[in-house]
Each structure stands twice: as structure tokens, then as C-alpha cells.
Chain A
Amino acid sequence: MTKLYLLLGAIVVLVGLACLSPFVVDETSYSVVTRLGRPIRTYTEPGLKFRVPLIDQVTNIDSRMLLTEPPATEYLTLDKKNIIARSFVTWRVADPLRFLQTVVVRDTAEQRLAAVTGSELGSAFGAAPFDALVSTEPAHMRLDEIVDGVEQRVRATAAREFGIELVALRLERLAFPQQNEASVYQRMRAERQRIAKQFRSEGEEQALKIRAEADRERSHLLSDANRTATEIRGRAEAEAATIYADALGANPDFYKFVRTLEAYEKIIDKDTTLVMPADSPLMKSLLEGPPAGGIVEAPHPPVQRSAAR
């Protein structure tokens, strides 16, 4: 009986211990098995594993990609300009054992990574002019290159010293320190004022050009038209003169007489006063009647023009 109970007791204890043996390596972690403090096995694949109960300890280490954000830091560029950079690091544990031996927990790892990142960024920024970080000039712009350089150096350090695989190091944000803001705003305002002025003067310049062009076109059109009109008039005068000359050539003296008569009609108006000598042929005929021999003499102008009233 005693033997039987002892046997049963032993079985119960063994089963109990056997229940402590299996453990699960999760999809999100690595497991390091240590026997009496000495690491004997590292599991990187998930699944059901076994250990020797009581003397084997299992430590889980996060196998996921982790994100660390070092605090935003102010740096000085080569040309002594201040800039605040907010960086972040994504990383995962590559060598669980080394990780366990050097940094032990995630918090420590993050602090170490932040420190390395900060100092590498500091030296990279210190060697670069400001417009290598922020610039519209593609020839100066080297932000990607600079960050890649920092990433590589931090990656090497992290792998060597902490068993960490650095996935990426990037700059999430660049900003000016608060004490520089006022001057930045001042500069932005001045720049805007300059641009506004430029727009307005450009507008005036273009408008002036368009108006001048229109005026030029206008005077061009008008002077052309004037010249043509003058030509037409001139030609008309010339043609009229030809017509007159042709017609009058028949009897120039008679024409002169007729024209003279016409001229009197035009010259003498209602404000004209005529003074005639009583012995003028016109009066003579009135006072004395026709001469005996009839009127044969060629007529001559009987009128004199006196000053108009």
C-alpha cells in the first residue's frame, strides 16, 4: 500500500512537472531559454516548445517592428542656423540573445537608440549647410542623402552593440526654434509684400503696353486713312481741273467774264453798300435812255466795292 501511494504520488508530481514543461512561443515574440541563468536555446519561430521544468527559465522578447521617437531636438547647421528636427526610428530585435545581454528591455533599447540617433543627427547637420536640408534648389538639396547617411551609421551601431536591426531612421518634421519664429514671420511678410508689388507693377506694365499698342494702331489707322483721303481729294481736284480746262479752253475770255459775274454774286451780300456814279452806264441808261447808236460797247464792271458796314 505504502509503495502504491508513493508510486501514485511520484506520478502526480511528474505529471505536474510535465505540465510546466510546455510553453508557447508567440507570433509576436522570440523566446530565450536560460538554464540556471545560462542561455541555452533561442526560439525565433512561433509554436509549442518544451523545457525542463524548474531549472529552465523562458524570457520573451518582442519580435515585432517597434517605433521609437527620440524627443525633438534643436541642432545647429554648418552655417550656424538653428533647426529643430523630430526624428523616429523603426527597429526590431535581430539577435535576441545579444539584445538580452546588452540592453535587456525595450525601454533601455529606446533610450540608447535615441541617444545614438541624436548624436549622429547632430554631427550630420553640423556638417551640412541649412539649404541642404530645406531648399527649392535641387542642386543644394541633400536631405534624403543626409538622412540615409545617419540611418546607415545608426544601423551599424545598433546591430553591433545591441543586436538590433534598424529598419529605418527618418525625419518626421523640421521646424524653426520658437525664438526664431518672429524673424521668420517678418521675412515671410516682406517676401509677400515684394511679390504683391511685383504683380501690381507687372499688371501696370502689361496694361501700359497694351494701351500703347492700341494707341499706336489707332494713329496708324487714322494717318493711313488721312493720307488716302488726301490723295483722293487731290486726285479729285486734279480731275476737276482737267474737266474745267477742257471745257473752258473753248473760250477763255468769255469764261473769265462769266466767272467774274458769279464772283460778284458771291461777294456782294445784304451788308454791302454800293455807291454808283450817276454817269455809270447803268444809271446813264436809266436817266438818259438808250444811246442813239445802241449799246455796242463791251460791258465793263460798273460797280466798285466799298467797305462793308
Chain B
Amino acid sequence: MSRWRDRLGRAVRRRSVQGGVALLLVSGWLATGIYTVPATSVAVQSLFGAVTDGAVPPGVHWWWPRPFGRVDRVEVTRTFSLGLGFKVDKTGETAGFDPVESRWLSGDTNILHLRSKVGWRISEPVRFLFRVDDPARVLRMAVGTAYTETMSAMPVDDVLTTGRLVLREQVRTRAQEMLDAWQVGIEVLSVNLESVDPPPVVLKAFQDVQDARADRERLVSDAESYANTTIPLARGEAEKLQHEAESFRIERMQAAEADADRFARLVVEHDRSPTLLEKRLYLETVERVLPRVKRYVLEPGNANSMPIRILE
């Protein structure tokens, strides 16, 4: 029996050493379960594959380490950007547009090249992580679809001019509706149209329409400025005519009155001595008239005689 006891005692001592080592290993393993969540993120904890907490707030936390537990951090405040229609090379998106990917049809079957930037964020981390395969690709498809559905009913001129805002808003709404219905866990923050251009081969014709629109404005404003100068001028001229008539009237009346006055005075004098006044008036007139002219005197009764020139 004592031999058994000895063996047992040795085993217990050995086991306590092994136990200490095991305890150390286990607590070391458990310590690796301490993790931090940055302020921009939330964490998703799962145990044996199942999510136990879908929104661990920022801070320091502990969770079962691998292989039992799992922690995924998700940057929920970050705005991600998705480009549609951009030319992509080794360095990423460039300034140009992809000739095929940027091509959409307008409702009046014009081809347009669109480049669009979509701002989005992860709104539901659990769905984003575990419910959808490649959510970013789903987003791309949803936005593309929203553009196709909206543009298919829009005239090209609206897309190029006044309808851009409507287009953006509709695309955002439609894309969000799809993503919500499919539970992708993405929120579309903004849809921007970086550029909308007609295909290069018909660009000139489109620009000419712009020029024509400007021409129309110019023609009209020229005509308006013509009207704006012509009418006041005419008004001035009309006023001038009236003024002239008025002053003619005044002059005419004054002249008439002056003549009447003078004649009235003459009549008074005439009433006193008619013959004398008439003679005087006659002679005064002759005095005034004759010095101005060439004068010839003919002998009486001889119309054919040479005239005598009496004064030069």
C-alpha cells in the first residue's frame, strides 16, 4: 500500500507543477481576449460562430479569444467612396471616364457618359459583415440600376441641364430603397454627378446647341436694347414736336397781336389825317425800297427810248 501511496504523492506533486503551467497557459490565453474599439468604430462579438453582441461601443473590452470567440471591428463613422464610370488603372481611379462602364441611355435614347461618386457608410455592422457577400459590389449594382431606371425615363436635355439634381436625388432614394429591402446594412449618404457628357464624337453638335441657346438670348437682348433706345427716343421726338408747335403758337399769337397793336395805332393816326399818313407811309416805303435796287427812268410816252440810268 505504501508503494501506491508514494506513487500517488509523487504524482500529485508532479501534477501541481503541471497544473501551475496549465493555469499560466490558460490565463495567458484568456488575457489575449482583451481588445480595444477605437472611437470611430463598433465591434461585433461572436462565440462559436454566433453573434452575441452586434454593437460593442468604443473602449476596452474582453471577449473569449480564438478559437472560441471572435471580434470584428467595423468603422461605422467612416465615409467610403464608390466611383462609377471612372477609368481605373494601376493607381486607382483617374480623371478620365471608362468608355463602356460610364455609358447610360437617356429616355430619348441618347448615349451619355456619366461619372458618379457615391458616399456611403456601414449602418448595420452585423448585416454588412455576415448577411451579404461582397456588400460593396451589391452597392455598385444598386446604384447602377438606380441610374438606369431613372435615366430611362428622362430626356437627355434634362440630364444635361436642369434635371441633374432630380437625377441625383432619385438615384440616391432608389438605391437606398433597394439596399434597405435587401438588408445590406449600407446607408447611401450622397450621390454626386462628377460629369455628364455626350459621347466625344457628337460633342460638337451638343456644344452648338449651347451656342444656339446663347445666340437666341443675344438676339432677343439686342432687340430689347433696340426697343429700349427707340421708344424713349421717339417719346423725346414726340415731345419736341409738341413743344415746337406750342412755341409756333406763341410766336404766331405774339406776331398777330403785335401786328394788331401796330395797326390799331396806325388807325388812330389815320383817323386824324388819312391822306397825310398814307402819303408818309408811301414815301417811307419808297425810301426803303428804292436804294436797294437798280433804277431806270423812261421818258414819258416813249416806251422804246433808252432808259436813263440815274444812279448806280
Mark A residues whose CB is within 8 Å of B: 24-28, 45-48, 62, 64-67, 69, 88, 90, 133-136, 138, 141, 143-144, 167-168, 170-176, 181, 184-185, 187-189, 191-193, 195-200, 202-204, 206-211, 213-215, 217-219, 221-222, 224-226, 228-233, 235-237, 239-240, 243-244, 246-248, 250-251, 254-255, 257-258, 261, 264-265, 268-270, 272-279, 282-283, 295-296, 298-299, 302-303, 309
Contact = CB atoms under 8 A, between A and B. Distances in A.
A210 B230 contact: no
Contact of B206 (A88, A192, A213, A217): A192
Given A197-B212, A203-B218, A233-B248, A218 B231 contact: yes
A254 B253 CA distance: 22
B289 A46 contact: no
Interface string B252-289: 11011101110110110010001100110110011011
Contacts of A28: 130-131
Contacts of B270: 251, 254
A144 B285 contact: no
Given A210-B227, A283-B297, A222 B211 contact: no
A240 B216 contact: no
B38 interface: no
Given A185-B199, A233-B249, A268-B292, A136 B153 contact: yes
B212 A195 contact: yes
Interface in B43-101: 46, 48-51
Contacts of B182: 65, 90, 167-168
B260 A244 contact: yes
B181 to A, nearest CB: 7
A243 B108 contact: no
B182 to A, nearest CB: 5
B133 A278 contact: no
- Chain A at the B interface: mostly helix, strand, loop or mixed? helix
Given A185-B199, A226-B241, A67 B141 contact: yes
A299 B280 CA distance: 10
Nearest to B126: A27
Given A47-B50, A192-B205, A268-B293, A279 B300 contact: yes
B11 interface: no
A299 B282 contact: yes
